[in-house]
Amino acid sequence: MRSFFDGKRRCPLLAVLIASMIVLSLPMTQAGAESRYNDWEVWTSAANAVLPAKRGKLGPFRMNIAAGAAATPEYLGSDTIASKPLPLLDVNYAGTLFLSTQQGVGWNMWRKRTSRAGPRITFDFGRNAADAPSLAGLPDIELGTEIGLFFESFVASWRFKGDIRKEIGGGHGGFLINGEAAWGSRWSKNASLILGMRTTFMDDTYAESYFGVAAANSTAGHATYTPTGGFRDVNAYVQLVYDFTQAIYVATELRGTTLMEQAADSPLAESDAFFTGSVMVGYRF
């Protein structure tokens, strides 16, 4: 049986248009300078959620190029929503090697018809104290390079993903585990619907980097706080993808996120529950 995520039947265009209107209507207050916080892996995932049917012999390369915008917090835990540009460049060679602003740089070392797994490199954009007034006086978190292992498996209309990663490049220095499950439905000619949930587990080092406040940095607004490892957040999402042609598409997403205890209790967490949304237009070839 073909997996939904590789197939052809889709849901109505009206749902996609409604989702786009919801995303574009989210309140945004643009910061004077864009904050460093970016999570392209999550925010651009709708653009890679549905793959077109294979078209003849096009050579070993497959590419997916897209651009769009997202409404997201200024930083993880901020209660100020800002607009973010979303670039997607996704290059796959012979189903084995990939380079992507969404997936990172990796190797499908183990690959079957409905499963793949292997090593990859991802990046964490870090955080600047200048990203928001609420972060004033805190140390910056530099751009980080993460190495790890990933897997992805399809079972009928279900997709399961997970990865482990360790930052080694002078950024947050921590360790993360991500897990995700999604269900897809296609029942019209051109559109697809995906419902999913994702969670992230963080170690002590990551928790202290992003949510801790050292005694030397404590202020009236930032009490000293030393979090421990645990689940960082849980989120649920709906994605709608409409294919105008086999190559041209629009992808939209609405995602609700809840910070878990160690993150939510941080004095830096102005909001422990928030929505993000995105719209992207892309071209596959």
What are the pLDDT digits (tens) for 201-213?
Answer: 999 999 999 999 9
Per-residue pLDDT averaged across 226-239, rounded? 98
The predicted pLDDT at position 29 comes to: 41
The predicted pLDDT at position 59 comes to: 82
Window from 43-57, 129-143, 268-282 with minimum mean pLDDT: 43-57
The 3-class secondary structure across the chain, one letter per residue, is CCCHHHCCCECCHHHHHHHHHHHHCCCCCCCCCCCCCCCHHHHCHHHHCCCCCCCCCCCCEEEEEEEEEEEEECCCCCCCEEEEEEEEEEEEECCCEEEECCCEEEECCEECCCEEEEEEEEEECCECHHHCHHHCCCCCECCEEEEEEEEEEEECCEEEEEEEEEECCCCCCCEEEEEEEEEEECCECCEEEEEEEEEEEECHHHHHHHHCECHHHCCCCCCCECCCCEEEEEEEEEEEEEECCCCEEEEEEEEEEEECHHHHCCCCCCCCEEEEEEEEEEEEC
Window from 15-24, 43-52, 67-76, 83-92 with minimum mean pLDDT: 15-24
Ramachandran assignment for 230, one of left (phi > 0), alpha (psi -120 to 50 degrees), beta (any other): left
The predicted pLDDT at position 20 comes to: 43
Per-residue pLDDT of 176-190, as tens digits, reads 999 999 999 987 889
pLDDT higher at 50 or 29 = 50
Window from 39-48, 128-137, 214-223, 265-274 with minimum mean pLDDT: 214-223
CATH H superfamily, domain 4-52+59-284: monomeric porin ompg (2.40.160.40)
The predicted pLDDT at position 28 comes to: 42
pLDDT above 80 (res 51) = no
The predicted pLDDT at position 54 comes to: 63
pTM: 0.88
What's the whole-number average pLDDT of the chain? 88
Confidence band, pLDDT 50/70/90 cuts, at residue 165: very high
